[in-house]
Amino acid sequence: MSVEIIYFVHGTTYDNASSKCSGWKQVELNELGKEQAKKLGKSTNYQFDALFTSDLIRAIDSAEIAWPEYEKIVDERLRECNYGDYDGEDKKLVVYEEHIDHPFPNGESLKDVEKRIAEFLEYLKENYDGKIVGIVAHRAPQLAIEVLTKYISWEEAIQKDWRKTKAWQPGWKYRIE
């Protein structure tokens, strides 16, 4: 059997609009982000057996606005990468290619994110076999899922990231077996 994942990213935040990276910092959605979440909920017909979010308010609020009818399961393993000293600073400081194996100053590496996402995916396999699971979270966890489900390198995942290719879509599908 398997678990189908439909992955969504949170709406635009005040930090996003100011070209800042948030990392583990709690940052609220701005008005555009709230509108994006409303449109996402109205434009998707997914039926989830469970809906997970990270424990950061921007993901929780995006999920609540998009799908108020679902109970949200908050899981800290779905948090964005901890950018450490760069949390809340200019987003140009966050160069993923430089932090695959080496942590951000006083933060995490992308391999650290991969480890916690791998644990989360194992949890899903053990508890949601044959189910459809929605996830509302962040960039690094999504890239970790790309690495883990498509068996690609971090370099390839970063290069093909929809944020670089400008190929946003209302949900990305993954399957874990």
The more confidently predicted of residues 110 and 170 is 110
59-71 pLDDT, tens digit per residue, is 999 999 999 999 9
Task: Kindly tell me if the per-residue pLDDT of 102 is higher than 90.
Answer: yes
Q: Which residues pair with 132 in a beta bridge?
A: 4
Residue 74 has pLDDT above 90, yes or no: yes
- The enclosing domain of 9 has a CATH number of 3.40.50.1240
Q: Where are the beta strands (DSSP E) in 35-105?
A: 50-53, 72-74
Is the predicted pLDDT of residue 82 greater than 90, yes or no?
yes
Q: Smallest Cα–Cα separation from 44: which of 4, 11, 8, 5? A: 8
Domain that holds residue 82: 3-176
Q: pTM score > 0.85 for this model? A: yes
pLDDT tens digits, 132-141: 999 999 999 9
Tell me the catalytic residues. Answer: 10, 80
Number of separate domains in the chain: 1
